[in-house]
Chain A
Amino acid sequence: MNAEKNTQMLDCLGVSRRDFMKFCTGIAATLGLGGLSSTEAIAEALTSKKLPPVIWIGAQECTGCTEALLRATHPTLETLLFQVISLEYHEVLCAAAGHQVEANKHRAMEEYKGEYVLVVDGSIPTKDGGVYCMVAGKPIGEHIKEAAEGAAAIIAIGSCAAWGGVPSIGPNPTGAVGVQEFLPDKKIINIPGCPPNPSNFIATVVHLLTFKKLPELDAEGRPKFAYGRLIHEHCERRPHFDAGRFAEAYGDEGHRQGWCLYKLGCKGPETYGNCPSLEFCDVGGGIWPVGIGHPCIGCNEKGVGFSKGISELAHVVRPTPPAVHPEVNTPAGGENKVAGTAILAGVAGLAAGVSVMTVKELGRQQKEGKNSSQEKEN
C-alpha cells in the first residue's frame, strides 16, 4: 500500500497521520458508516489518487454557503482545499480574477471532463433570458449548463440552489429556480440549508470519492444520511413537546426553561435535517437555532422555509402519542361543549313548548267544536 507515501505527504503538509485519521473517522461518522474499515477506505480514497477537481459556480446567492464552508473546523478550509479537493474555480476563493479565472475554468472543464464535481450555490434566474445574474458577459444559467455537461456529479448546495430559496419567494421578479428545475434531465444532489452544515457537503463529496457513487437520496434528491429524519424526531426539546410543555412567548418562563418552541412557530415537525445532532455549521456547544431558543424556520424545506411565517404553526407530519396518559375508563366522545348543550337544550325546550301548545290548541278547538255543535242542536 502507499501508506508510507501518504505519511510522507501528510508530513510535508504538516498534518500528523493521527489528525488525518481523525478527520476520516469524523467523515465516516457523518455518513453513518461504522468500523475501522470505513475509516481506512476513506483515507485510501483521499490519499491514493489525485485530488478530485471541483468547479463551484455561484448564481443568485449571498455567499453564506461559502462563508459557512470557510468557517468549517473539521476539516478546516485549508485541509479541505489542499487535501480533500482541488478547487478549480470559485468566484470568491479564486486567487485569480477576470479573464484569467474564466480561462482556468474552461481549462479545468476540458482537462477533467467527466471527472469533476460541479457545485452550484444560489438560485438561477430564468426570466428575461436570465439577465439578472451575469458573469463574464453571459447569463449564469448558460455557465451552469455548460459545466453540467462534463460533470461527474452535480451538487446543489444551499436552499437557493436546492429548491430556489429566498430569491424564489414572493413575487420572484427574476424567475429564480433551483438547479434541479433548471436542469431537469440531470441527477442533482441537493444539500439544502441556509446555510447548510458544511459537514453534510464534505461528507457527500467524500462519499462520491470513496464509493464512486451517489449517496442514497430521498425523494427531494437529498442525501438520506443527513436529511433522512425530521428535526422534530431527534430534537433535544422533544420531551417537552410530548409532555405538553410549550414556550408561549419569547422570554417567558417556559422559554427560559428550555421548553418546546412549537407554539412559537418551530418548523421542526415538518422539516427534514440533521441539525439537532450536527448543530449549526461548526459553531459547537449546542448552538443551532432551536438550541439557542429560536424556532426552526424550516430553511431546508420547500414550501416551509421563507414561505411560512416564522410564528406560523407547523404542520406535524407524523403525530405520535403524547407523554401524558388518559385515565382508565376515559369516556369516548370527549366533553360536552357548553354551546352544544345549550343548543340541544334549546331545541328540546322548543319541541316541548310546541307540543304543549299544540295539545292545548287541539283541546280548545275540540271544546269549541262541541260547544258549537251543542249550540246548533239547541
Chain B
Amino acid sequence: MDRRDFLKVATVAPLLATVGAATDAEARHNLPPLPEGVGLLYDSTLCIGCQSCVAKCQEVNQMDLNPADSLHSKNNYLSPFSFNVIQVWQNGAGINKDQIDDGYAYIKRQCMHCVDPNCVSACPVSAMQKDPVTGIVTTDPSLCTGCRYCMIACPFNVPKYEYDDPFGRLQKCSLCNQKGVERIDKGGIPACAEVCPTGAVIFGKRSDLLREARQRVAADPGSEHKYPVKAIGSGEFNKTSIPHYNQEIYGEREGGGCQCLVLSSVPYEDLGLPSLQEESFGAATETVQHGLYRGMFLPIALLPALLYGWLTRRTWLSIGGGKAGNKHDETEAGNE
C-alpha cells in the first residue's frame, strides 16, 4: 500500500462507518413522558401580568437581587437572579389583550422541564439530571464544572450562569424542588402556582394538565369554563369564559414535549417560544454520537490507521523525503 492509497482508505473508511452506524444502529428515539411527571400549565389568556409569581419565586428560592436596579427587583429576562419572569408581547398600540391587531399578551418564561431534555443529554458530567419519577430537571452544583454546555443545548435559553461570581453556579427553575426548598417532595406546589390569583399558572401531573389544556382548546369560545386555581384538583376555581385559543398546545410535542405547557391566543412564536421539531435534540445528537462509538468499531479501525500514517511519515522523513525545505535552509545559510 503506498501513501496515496492509504490516505484514500483513511478518508473513506470513517464516512462509511458513520453511514453504517446511522443506518445499522438503532436510533435513540424520544424519551416517553413519565407517567408521574409533574409540570405547570401557563394560560397566557388568564395572566393579568401582576408578577406576584415573580416576587414569590424570588422569595422562596432566596435569590440574590440583581444589582442593576436599586428600586425594583429587576427581572427583565431570565438570569441567575430570576428563574421566572413575565414578559409582554405588543403589537401596534398594544391595547387589546390576547389579540393580534393592536394587541398584547403576557408570557411566563421559565424552565420548561422537557420530557427529553437536551441539557441533560449535553451535560458531560451528569450534573444536569431529570428526576426519574417527577421528571423535574435539576442541576447538582457539587458536580457541575461550569462548562455551560446546557446553556447552548437548551432550545428555550433557560439555564443561566453566574458570570459575576468567580465561583459561579448554574441557575434555573427546579419547580421549587431543589435541595433546601423541596416543595414537591413535601406534597406542596411551586411558589408561582401557589400565588397566581387567576389560575393562569397551575401545577399538576403532565397528563392531567394536558387533559385540562385539551378541554380548554376544544371548548366553544365564549362558553363558561371552571379554570382550576393553584393546582389540578385544588378545589378552587376561577369561573370565566373561554377565549379563542390556538389549537395547538405548546409543549405537547415541541422538542419531544415539555412538562410545562403553554396556552395562548396569539402565535407562540410572537411570545418568544420557538417552533421546534418533534424529535428531541437529545435524540438526534445521541443517535449520531452514540452511533460513532457503537461497538467501538470506528475507534478500533481508526487507531491502527492513524498509527500507520504516523509511522510511514516518520520513515519518509528519515530517508530524506523532506529535502525541499532543507535545501531552502541551505541556500539561506549560503547567502549569509
Contacts and interface: CB of A to CB of B under 8 A. Distances in A.
A323 B71 CA distance: 12
A377 B336 CA distance: 9
Contacts of B272: 328-329
A327 B55 contact: no
14 contacts: A242-B72, A319-B69, A320-B51, A321-B54, A321-B74, A322-B72, A325-B86, A325-B87, A325-B88, A326-B75, A326-B88, A328-B87, A328-B107, A330-B76
Contacts of A332: 77-79
A299 to B, nearest CB: 23
B87 A321 contact: no
A251 interface: no
B287 interface: no
B72 A328 contact: no
B49 A328 contact: no
A14 interface: no
Interface string B18-57: 0000000000000000000000000000000101001100
Nearest to A377: B335
A249 interface: no
B106 interface: yes
A318 to B, nearest CB: 8
B89 A327 contact: yes
Contacts of B65: 319
Contacts of B336: 373
A10 to B, nearest CB: 45
A322 B75 CA distance: 9
Contacts of A331: 77
Given A326-B87, A328-B88, A328-B89, 17 more contacts: A242-B72, A262-B71, A316-B70, A319-B70, A319-B71, A321-B55, A321-B73, A322-B74, A323-B51, A327-B87, A328-B271, A330-B77, A331-B77, A332-B78, A334-B68, A373-B335, A377-B335
Nearest to A262: B71
Interface in B265-286: 270-272
Contacts of A322: 71-72, 74
Contacts of B335: 373, 377
B75 A321 contact: yes
B71 A326 contact: no
Contacts of B173: none
Contacts of A330: 76-77, 87
Interface string A329-367: 111101000000000000000000000000000000000
A325 B106 contact: yes
B112 interface: no
Interface residues of B, number: 30
Nearest to A319: B73
A323 B90 CA distance: 16
Interface in A277-319: 316, 319
Interface of A: 241-242, 262, 316, 319-323, 325-332, 334, 373, 377
Contacts of B88: 325-328
Given A321-B54, A328-B270, A316 B71 contact: yes
Contacts of B71: 241, 262, 316, 319, 322
B79 to A, nearest CB: 7
A238 to B, nearest CB: 12
B85 interface: yes
B49 A325 contact: yes
Nearest to A323: B51
A316 B79 CA distance: 21
B88 to A, nearest CB: 4
Nearest to B160: A332
Given A319-B71, A321-B51, A326 B271 contact: no
A219 to B, nearest CB: 19
A322 B73 CA distance: 7
A9 to B, nearest CB: 49
A334 B77 CA distance: 10
Contacts of B72: 242, 316, 319-322
Shortest beta-carbon contacts, A-B, top 10: A326-B76, A325-B88, A328-B272, A319-B73, A322-B72, A321-B51, A328-B89, A320-B55, A330-B77, A321-B54
A94 B69 CA distance: 54
Nearest to B70: A316
Candidate in B78, B79, B88 with the most chain A CB atoms within 10 angstroms? B88
A342 to B, nearest CB: 21
A357 to B, nearest CB: 27
A169 B179 CA distance: 46
A373 B335 CA distance: 8
A326 B65 CA distance: 17
A180 B65 CA distance: 34
| Most chain B CB inside 10 Å of its own CB: which residue of A316, A330, A334 | A330
A322 B49 CA distance: 11
B40 to A, nearest CB: 19
Given A321-B51, A321-B54, A332-B77, A327 B90 contact: yes
Interface in B129-143: none
A228 B151 CA distance: 42
A366 to B, nearest CB: 13
A267 B336 CA distance: 83
A308 to B, nearest CB: 15
Contacts of B86: 321, 325
A323 B73 CA distance: 11
Interface string B74-111: 11111100000111111000000000000000110000
A330 B66 CA distance: 16
Contacts of A242: 72
Nearest to B50: A323
Contacts of A377: 335
A316 B90 CA distance: 30
Contacts of B77: 326, 330-332
Nearest to B76: A326
Contacts of A319: 65, 69-73
Contacts of A320: 51, 55, 72-73
A327 B272 CA distance: 10
A241 B270 CA distance: 29
